[in-house]
Chains A and B, each alone.
Chain A
Amino acid sequence: ETGVTQTPRHLVMGMTNKKSLKCEQHLGHNAMYWYKQSAKKPLELMFVYNFKEQTENNSVPSRFSPECPNSSHLFLHLHTLQPEDSALYLCASSPHVGNTEAFFGQGTRLTVV
């Protein structure tokens, strides 16, 4: 256990559905991240939050909408996704945004049908 918990672990959704991914960390970290991991591709950083404020949006389509109500919780709201959005979505946290290690959750395996 890394102290970062993601739910659900698996999600199958249709292209017209709306769903949300949840991430929670109990490490007292101030920075949280969403990454996308597709087959045969490097991890792609999607969003960065520092002290609940979004500090980076890596040109992510608007059908992905992040929300960070506090430093311990991070959500990724999904709507009208495409089949190519199927991937492993990983949440991570770190003490602060900077030169420190990241702690990852187990990921949500998303399949868009």
Chain B
Amino acid sequence: SQQGEEDPQALSIQEGENATMNCSYKTSINNLQWYRQNSGRGLVHLILIRSNEREKHSGRLRVTLDTSKKSSSLLITASRAADTASYFCATNGGETSGSRLTFGEGTQLTVNP
């Protein structure tokens, strides 16, 4: 079964606004990761949060993890047009997935100048 599921599927905002994307998963995890993908390109790792962490920051990125609700959110503050991309969450570890990374379908973020 699919592990990470992002919400919303698509998000369109104006430059300077904040963007929030959510990810839900089904089984226990060791960590959850967020990746970014520009159209037709490879994925770039953004941030990793471990199952015993609740919040993590990296520059304009803020990730939260709620293991009781099996959900995570990615907040991009003060968005820029260059942030336009697809964003994926990926879960690692747990009973069913072992050591593999299991990706969701992604959120397509469009930041309008």
Contacts and interface: CB of A to CB of B under 8 A. Distances in A.
Contacts of A104: 35, 42-45
Contacts of A100: 48
B83 interface: no
A99 B42 contact: no
Interface residues of A, number: 25
A43 B104 CA distance: 7
A42 B2 CA distance: 8
A88 B40 contact: yes
A76 interface: no
A107 B39 CA distance: 11
Contact of B44 (A2, A42, A43, A56): A2
A4 B42 contact: yes
22 contacts: A41-B105, A42-B88, A42-B103, A42-B104, A42-B105, A42-B106, A43-B88, A45-B101, A56-B100, A88-B40, A90-B42, A92-B43, A97-B99, A99-B30, A101-B45, A104-B42, A104-B43, A104-B45, A105-B42, A106-B42, A107-B40, A107-B41
